[in-house]
Amino acid sequence: MNLVSFLILGAIAGWLAGQFTKGKGFGLLGNLVVGVVGSFLGGFLFGLLQIRAAGLLGEWVAALVGAMVLLWLPGKIKK
């Protein structure tokens, strides 16, 4: 995946994760950061669970799951 596609995937995954977990996005830069970090986190978590995210759809799912975990986890730690 080239850099532009990766950044677009990250921005969309971050926005979707924001919609699912908080009900709003975080702006373009915030969505991009959450999505890109979430992509790495999702890939790591899928690896731990021995789940293979193959193809573009698999990458989207891994990025979205990682971004959602990234947004969900701090709220649970605070409580």
> Cβ atoms within 10 A of the Cβ of 12, count?
17
Please write the tens of the pLDDT for every residue from 18-68.
Answer: 888 766 667 778 888 888 898 889 889 999 999 987 888 888 888 889 988
pTM for this structure? Answer: 0.80
Structure confidence at residue 48 (pLDDT) = 94
Q: 49 — phi, psi (to 5°)?
A: -85, 0
Structure confidence at residue 1 (pLDDT) = 62
Task: Please state the domain extents for the chain.
Answer: 3-78
Structure confidence at residue 50 (pLDDT) = 92
Structure confidence at residue 45 (pLDDT) = 93
Q: How far is residue 25 from each of residues 35, 41, 43, 55, 56, measured CA to CA in Å? A: 11, 19, 22, 26, 23
